[in-house]
Amino acid sequence: MESSGRQVNPVVSKAKKPDFFIVGGRKCGTTSLYSHLKDHPEIFMPRWKEPHFFGSDLHARNFSHQDYLSLFSKAPAHKKAGEASTGYLFSKKAAAEIKEFNSTARIIIMLRNPVEAIHSLHSEYVFEAVEGIEDFEAALNAETRRQREPYVPPPAVPMEFLYYRQWVAYADQVRRYYDLFGRENVHIIILDEFHSKIGLILRDTFEFLGVDQSFQPKLGVRNPNKLVHSRKLQRFLLDTRRPFALWARQIPGNILIRSLVRLNTRNGPRPAMNPELRRRLTQEFAPEIERLGGLLGRDLSHWCKTD
């Protein structure tokens, strides 16, 4: 989860607005798509993924409109410019804010089996020291309590970030963008298909954006699951309530924090989900999956299989 506190160039000459937005969802392959689009010679993507300028119900905007546009100040006029912020799909306000900012913007949405998505999201939150409950099932069971009782996880994040089930209420989230931008301006990518036929999916995406479809980016895993060597050290580094973390973040670009986190990181598979929990969650999400499939006009019944 990218911090929105990075410094950006406040000077913008002939500011270019982004032509398209990858709005989410979280843990649905957006980092890979961002990287592939960034490699395209006719597309400009800023180095900073997840600026989260929109979505005022989730993020306090701590940089200006001018600062945001400065992210695209180096975009050549002939290139399509875009950005990727996964909170825009979950946010109830981001779609309208993007529409007001650029009424002709094109929208890309990536979706994933909700059970797999929240399992992956929990793993990321544990890695980032946002989630203090390391057991996935226990974290899900805590949702009701967290909605009822005051709770500030370390480091402080909006309470809604830990409402895992709400992150994958995809039907209503997609409908917001359909209603505001029109279906013809919203491109849906299903992560299963992105993995199984990535070449075709990328060509379709390039066509949607109006760029050369023959370009073939270098393929590979761009955002593997991350684990930590020491959870105590990770919490020490990332918990902004601690004096060390607050002091270290004053260093330009948080170089010290990033370096120490990198040393404390290893790639590896997340812990397997309890089969019985998977079965229960699959049954729980079946009605939502059916709604989403109907909205998209796609068969997503394979997400409802419990074997």
The tens digit of pLDDT for each residue in 34-88 reads 999 999 999 999 988 999 999 999 876 778 899 999 999 999 999 999 999 999 9
Q: What is the DSSP letter of 84?
A: E
Q: For residue 159, is it within any domain?
A: yes
Q: For residue 256, is it within any domain?
A: no
Q: For residue 111, is it within any domain?
A: yes
- Full residue range of the structural domain in which residue 152 is found: 20-225+269-304
The residues pairing with 24 across neighbouring beta strands, listed in sequence order, are 109
The tens digit of pLDDT for each residue in 21-33 reads 999 999 999 999 9
Statement: residue 219 has pLDDT above 80:
no
Q: Which of 254, 255, 261, 258 is nearest to 233 (CA)?
A: 261
- Share above pLDDT 90 across residues of the chain, in percent, rounded to a whole number: 61
Q: For residue 97, what is the domain's CATH number?
A: 3.40.50.300
Q: Find the helix packing angle between 170-181 and 94-101, rounded to 10°.
A: 20
The bridge status of strand 43-44 relative to strand 20-24 is: unpaired
The bridge status of strand 106-111 relative to strand 265-267 is: unpaired
The bridge status of strand 43-44 relative to strand 80-84 is: parallel
pLDDT computed for residue 153 by the predictor = 57
State how many domains the chain has: 1
Q: Which of 136, 138, 169 is nearest to 292 (CA)?
A: 169
Q: For residue 50, is it within any domain?
A: yes
On whether the pTM is more than 0.85, the answer is no
The tens digit of pLDDT for each residue in 106-153 reads 999 999 999 999 999 998 888 877 888 889 999 999 998 888 876 665
Residues with Cβ within 8 Å of residue 235, at least 6 apart in sequence: 129, 154
Statement: residue 198 has pLDDT above 70:
yes
pLDDT computed for residue 9 by the predictor = 45
Q: For residue 236, is it within any domain?
A: no
Q: For residue 251, is it within any domain?
A: no
Q: For residue 116, is it within any domain?
A: yes
Q: For residue 81, is it within any domain?
A: yes
| 72 CB-contact burial (10 Å; exposed 0-12 / middle 13-18 / buried 19+) | buried
